[in-house]
Amino acid sequence: MSRRVVVLGAGHGGGEVVAALRAGGFDGPLTLVGDEATPPYQRPPLSKSFLLGASPADELLARPRSFYEQQQVDLVLGRRVDHVDTTARTVQVGDESVPYDVLVLALGGRPRMLADPAAAKADNLHQVKTHADVERLRDRLAPGTRVGVVGGGFVGLEVAASARKRGAEVTVLELAPRLLGRVCSEVVAEHVASLHGARGVDVRTGVTGLHLVTGDDGRIARVATDQGIVEVDEVVVGIGMTPETGPAEQAGLAVDDGILVDADYRTSAPDVFAIGDCARVLRPDGSTLRLESAPHAASSARRVAAVILGRETPPDAAPWFWSHQFEVKIQMAGDPSARVSRWVTRGDMAGGSFLTFGIVEDRIVRIEAVDRPAEFAQTKSWLDRPIPSVIDRLADESYSIRQLFARP
Amino acid sequence: MTTVEFEQPDGSVTTVEAADGESIMRTALSNLVPGIVADCGGELSCATCHVIVSDAWVGIAGPPSGFEDEMLDATSEEREPGSRLSCQVVVSPVLDGVRVRVPASQW
């Protein structure tokens, strides 16, 4: 008796669930439903290598199209699912009612949009979610194209860097007093700001009164702010994401800025799971955490696959994230909402190769690295462990990271 | 068609057909080869697609470079002379028959 597993959402997490189930020996019927026309693909490169180059979209595919046929995954693309019935255990796909025994919601999120009325209509306003979005932006970028980027978070800054590398004139407009406010330390944010400045991006922070001014042709001609007016050819909005919870709400599942799940990603309905960006996980201390990252989409997918298979679940790795801007590699690990009491920095900030550790008492709760991938990876597994003897030596480069963290 | 052999820690070997121009990591994912995690999808950010190229093929596959070399210092299983991140090894006809070992753990 093989149960039927239906996965809603053919993004990074959805693709990983079906792969992990088949890799783990699941031989039951498996359906993957997605609203884009493309099988699961990598989104992180969209604002980086994909925006920079002319590589075909198929290079981003997580797995080749033939994989789904070979693995007998019923791939239903270009369809939105708006109706889930957790009593009848069915989802409505077009005019077909598809039964499930186990349902996995891998719905991801939607980019937030400016409340400005001009935003809805303008043809030169872009968001970055799908490869179609990025292809459209890429086609408009030429040397000298004036690009206004609203939002100084990772997506905005990656777009800014890629557009600048393609010769565009780029202005970044951030409402907060500094870049990357919600996601990283001041040390790294300052470094990123100076990196962009040095490469000719006009970075403005603490911007207020931002509004879009439309020309006679309906396109946005300029972005007006308290810090002056920016003439633009294209506008990119990267101001965060809203988790996609529609089908869960409609089905009556518990939702609170994300679909509420336990440590095994189980929702409030039996045999319904939610993973990746759309899930908000309840932690042992009673707090909840929602993570927007590809590694989390993959690790939550693998965990749910193990739960469905009745296997031992893999340990949850620490949350982590990376960004590439210009030629610089930035990596972060740890709960981004953790309250850090002090930062300890190791390495050469002026030379652009350093790590900074967010410390609470005798623990590292955050690690951020600029062009230090090996030390980043070596220290990541020590997050949240008490290491009193090491904390004060972190900044001392006469000790290697391997020496500092040598197991007793 | 180029073939790649993946040797698991238990000694079992899976031989798969690989598309030229694709990385060994993508080849592994496309064929559900166990033990290649590839958390970052080939962006040289995670070191979870570590493989050890067998001795006979090391010279042909070539050495790691730059960030890849640094990240091999941080893999879950200790690096060896043939260690590479499989996302950085591109399949081509000269690698036909290449054998790589999959380490026991990736993180």
CATH classification of the domain holding B6:
3.10.20.30
Q: What pairs with residue A224 in β-bridges? A: A211, A229
What is the DSSP track for A106-142?
Answer: ---EEE---S-HHHHH-TTEE--SSHHHHHHHHHH--
pLDDT at residue B1 in the model? 79
| Dist. CA A29–CA A45, nearest whole Å | 31
Kind and range of the H or E run holding B14: strand B13-18
Which of A378, A402, A405, A407 to mutate against chain B (most B CBs within 10 Å)?
Answer: A378
Tally of helices (H runs) and strands (E runs) in chain A: 12, 26
**Number of residues that make up chain B:** 107
CA-nearest residue of chain A to B33?
A: A23
Which of B6, B44, B46, B83 to mutate against chain A (most A CBs within 10 Å)?
Answer: B46
pLDDT at residue A198 in the model? 97
A333 within 8 A of A348, measured Cβ to Cβ: no
Confirm whether B29 is domain-assigned.
yes
pLDDT, tens digit, 9 for 90 and up, residues A2-51: 799 999 999 999 999 999 999 999 999 999 999 999 999 999 999 998 99
A105 within 8 A of A267, measured Cβ to Cβ: yes
- Determine, for residues B74 and A64 on separate chains, whether the beta-carbon distance falls below 8 Å: no
Confirm whether B69 is domain-assigned.
yes
Q: What value does the CA radius of gyration of chain A take, rounded to a whole number of Å?
A: 22
- Determine, for residues A294 and B40 on separate chains, whether the beta-carbon distance falls below 8 Å: yes
Q: Which residues contact A303 (CB under 8 A, 6 or more apart)?
A: A264, A265, A275, A313, A314, A316
pLDDT, tens digit, 9 for 90 and up, residues A73-96: 999 999 988 899 999 999 999 889
Confirm whether B106 is domain-assigned.
no
Q: Which of A23, A45, A377 sits opposite B43 (nearest CB)?
A: A45
User: Token digits for A322?
Assistant: 């990376």
Angle between helices A12-23 and A294-309 (to 10 degrees): 30
Cβ-Cβ contacts under 8 Å, B77 against chain A: none
Place of tokens 């480069």: A397
The answer, yes or no, to whether residue A1 has pLDDT greater than 80, is: no
Q: In Å, how far is A295's CA from the nearest CA of chain B? A: 5
A287 within 8 A of A258, measured Cβ to Cβ: no
B14 within 8 A of B21, measured Cβ to Cβ: no
pLDDT at residue A407 in the model? 60
What sign does the dihedral B61-B66-B69-B75 (CA atoms) show? negative
pLDDT, tens digit, 9 for 90 and up, residues A143-200: 999 999 999 999 999 999 999 999 999 999 999 999 999 899 999 999 999 999 999 9
- Determine, for residues B32 and A378 on separate chains, whether the beta-carbon distance falls below 8 Å: no
Q: What is the ipTM of this complex?
A: 0.93
- List A residues 1-30 in contact with B (Cβ-Cβ < 8 A): 19, 22-23
User: Where in the sequence is the domain holding B22, given as residue range(s)?
Assistant: 2-101
Q: In Å, how far is B73's CA from the nearest CA of chain A? A: 6
Q: Which of A19, A22, A298 sits opposite B39 (nearest CB)?
A: A298
The chain-wide mean pLDDT, for chain A, equals 94
Confirm whether B38 is domain-assigned.
yes
A39-66: average pLDDT: 90
Confirm whether B78 is domain-assigned.
yes
Cβ-Cβ contacts under 8 Å, B43 against chain A: 44-45, 48-49, 322, 324
Confirm whether B107 is domain-assigned.
no
The total of structural domains in chain B comes to: 1
pLDDT band (50, 70, 90) for residue A101:
very high
- Phi (first) and psi of residue A368, to 5 degrees: -130, 135
Confirm whether B82 is domain-assigned.
yes
